[in-house]
Amino acid sequence: MFWAPERKAYWNFSDGLSALPNFQEYYTISKLYSIGKLPKETIFINGQTGDFITGGHIPKILKEKNANVRTLLESITSKHYSLWKNLKTPERLEQVEEKILKLLDVSIDAKLTSGELMSLYERWECEERQAKWVIHGQRAYDFFGYDWQLPLWDIELVKFYQRVPIHLKLDQRLYHLWLEKWDYNNLFRDFNPTVWRWPRATLVVVPLAKVVEKILGKNAKQAWYEFFFYWGHTAEHYAPYSYKEYFDIRSDIRNSIALNGRTWAKENYLPVELIDVGQ
């Protein structure tokens, strides 16, 4: 499916030269569409982006007393500019940080409160991640000709959370307090599901990793996991690439999106070293 003409058509349709095409729902919709399980009048409604709007993405480190603009920059680059670890050279990071400071209209030596730093982080993520990557996932619906709605981006809800004090947004506190009060069909109370990164037989990787750690240390444990991420819970996204291709660069990449980024660059005749634009 990945190397089929339809996927390439989807990428050409959706990327907009601002973000890699989002695959979160593409495979599922493509399959259901091909077997006639989705009527033309289908309207897709998903939960984007409730976790961000309610404060779930605010780095806790920005709450520390010694947090400053440098802390803000490191919080952004470590999460959003780290698809290829080997491309994070001091020279490239300096270029990225200059761009971030310009976008936020702030200087590196500005004296800001924790609240102001958190506000700037949320602004950056709203403009540079949510709009360009997360909400970008709606292009999958557009590609197959379906309508969609995003109720959690309703303007009244967004404006409400703009006014919520920062101590009620950290860790989504207000959101959780509300769910404790209004728990539809007891869906949320005492609900702490375990999500395994290793499905089925691959779960054996976990206890063996603990043995490796005891004998050889944490770095060896991480290297052990890197051998097997290819078959983990996102195995379908690694599937278009051979294990050898993955193995050769396993320590340099963050996830399968890094490989898709390299493919996107090659298909658009761009230098591969330009692809580390963040997730």
Q: Using one digit for the tens of pLDDT, what is the confidence trace for 101-157?
A: 999 999 999 999 999 999 999 999 999 999 998 998 999 999 999 999 999 999 999
Q: Provide the pLDDT confidence category of residue 276 given band limits of 50, 70 and 90.
A: very low
Domain identity same for 178 and 212? no
Q: Nearest-CA neighbor of 227 among 204, 205, 198, 255?
A: 205
Give the count of domains, the chain. Answer: 2
* Cα radius of gyration (the chain): 21
Say which DSSP state 20 is in: P
Q: What is the pLDDT of residues 38-67, one digit of tens each?
A: 999 999 999 999 999 999 999 999 999 999
Helix (H) / strand (E) element for 148: namely strand 147-149
| Residue 181, amino acid | K
Domain housing 152: 5-186
Residue 277 has pLDDT above 80, yes or no: no
Residues 119 and 77 placed together within one structural domain of the fold:
yes
Comparing 272 with 251, the larger pLDDT belongs to 251
* Contact indicator for 278, 80 with CB cutoff of 8 Å: yes
Question: Which of these, 28, 30, 22, lies nearest to 6 by C-alpha position?
Answer: 30
DSSP 8-state symbol, 127? I
Q: Do 170 and 211 share a domain, yes or no?
A: no
Are 21 and 147 within one domain?
A: yes
On the CB side of 266, CA atoms within 13 Å amount to 6
How sure is the predictor about 69, in pLDDT bands with cuts at 50, 70 and 90? very high
Q: What is the mean pLDDT of residues 1-8?
A: 93
Judgement on whether residues 156 and 239 belong to the same structural domain of the protein: no
- Do residue 43 and residue 97 come from a single domain? yes
| 159 and 238 both lie in a single domain | no
Is pLDDT at 272 greater than 80 in this prediction? no
Pair 206, 182 in one domain: no
Asked, as a colleague might, if the bond just before 49 is cis with ω within 30 of 0, I would say yes
- Is residue 175 domain-shared with residue 225, that is, in the same domain? no
CB 125 within 8 A of CB 279: no
| 192 lies in some domain | no
Distance of CA 228 to the CA centre of its chain: 21
Identify whether 36 is part of a domain: yes
Mean residue pLDDT across the chain: 91
Assess whether 238 and 117 both reside in one domain: no
pLDDT grade for 190, boundaries at 50, 70 and 90: low
Residue 159: pLDDT above 50? yes
Where do we find the tokens 């591969």? Answer: 272
Indicate the Cα dihedral angle 243, 249, 251, 253, nearest 10°.
-100
What's the pLDDT band for 191 if we cut at 50, 70, 90?
A: low
Residue 136 within a domain: yes
Q: Is 208 within a domain?
A: yes
Backbone angles phi, psi at 270, to 5 degrees: -110, 150
- Which amino acid makes up residue 104? L
Q: What pLDDT does 275 receive?
A: 52
Q: Are 255 and 247 in contact (CB under 8 A)?
A: no
Co-location of 68 and 175 in the same domain: yes
Look at residue 30 in the predicted model and tell me its pLDDT: 93
Q: Is the same domain home to 18 and 136?
A: yes
In a domain, 279, yes or no: no
pLDDT at 210 over 90: yes
